[in-house]
Structure 1
Amino acid sequence: MSTLIADDHEAELRALMMMASHDLKSPLATVSAHVQMLHDEYADELGDGFRRDLAAMERALGRMSRLTQDLLDYARADHTLNRAPVALREIVGEVITDHIAEPDDALVSLTGTWPVVTGDAGLLRHVLDNLIGNAVKYTPAGVAPRIAIEARALPGGGIRVEIADHGIGIPAEDRPKVFDAFHRCANTGGRPGTGLGLAICRRIVERHGGTIGVEENAGGGSRFWFSLPAR
């Protein structure tokens, strides 16, 4: 009985998160639009102090917007899966283009065997977008991202996808907690984030019957991986 009560309580919390996040998006957009208007019309007239205050408001609004979207994504991760054949190789190509507009700005290798899987294309894209996006975001400033993305077939017909980077890496003591909600590593260096992205990835992968993890990359950085079962 206690397990059923806990499950019901978690479902209620997720429903509340979705409702609150959805309702916050509209007023946040309104405030952001007005701050942008103030910036465009008055920043030059009112001086450095005014510009500093506007910049602080914009940073705070950015953090609120990211948290609102992540809370909404976290709640959506438990929705009914819209299962269909998914070509992961195509999604990876699109995600790379989204995060690296100029191919010369990064070295990305894409190798292996990419079978079609069965799953929710939108949610699986979210996983790939987060993992590849992190590989770009956590590359040290002034260094071109180097990312190796590989897929290989597993015994029984499943698939394992690995995203290896040469970024700042994850301290060993943080690796067991990196997929926990709201956990952020000590070496993020002020990079924007809410600590929900990897928790969302884990929930999505587990709902597809798979597993997800992270290891130290032999060449420096991190190697994230996830596996999905056969179709």
Structure 2
Amino acid sequence: MRFLGWDLSDPFARRPRAVDVAVVDIHGRVDFEQREWPAPDGEGRLEPEALVAAFPVGPADVVVVDGPQALARPGARVREAERLLRAPGRTPDVLPVPGGPFHGFVRGGVLLFAALHRLGALELLDVDTPEPGRARLFEAFPGATWRHLAVEKLGKKSSPEGRAARRERLEAAGLRFPGSGLPTHDELDAALCAWLGWLTRTAPERVHAVGLPLWRDAEGWLREGRILDVRRT
């Protein structure tokens, strides 16, 4: 069993950043990889088959994604989980057109989750199972989880001091990083996502899901959805 953390980027950017991937084994050992988004077509579509091919998942893998899994409920301009966790990216009730702040990021995340659920047969919390310990595809918001983990301020996430503090928090929580070099802040966000997935199987009492349950509307769109986070002690 592997636990994958994906730090999504905007697939509609002129030059999309590679998606940083953290791979954590059952013993907490971390490796890093990268994935490239498939190219969208001229109408802003990302084909589900291309997405599943670009983001391969093993039959026992648990995936936690820093990116939105679903649209807001009809009439809402933000999902309840995003409001509660103070996420900067706000997902509306319709798929946004790329170009505005976070629009491409939100669109890419929603389409990726839909493809992985439909074609990859990855179980989602609420629509497939009520138990985090049985789901295999989750959403996380690292910004909120870092706040919960910090006994004191961690420092700017892109600074050497901030990155070192984040690595130390994850090591204290059970992860084992390769070598002595500092991961990038995107890699650390991916590692945090993978760590949350790891906890769903190794210490489920330490995690919970925030927000409104995920559901599918009459047109087939996934809406709302809870975000995985650590419990406050």
Please indicate the TM-score interval, normalised by the length of the shorter structure.
under 0.3
TM-score (norm 2): 0.24
Larger Rg: 1 or 2?
1
Higher-helix-fraction structure: 1
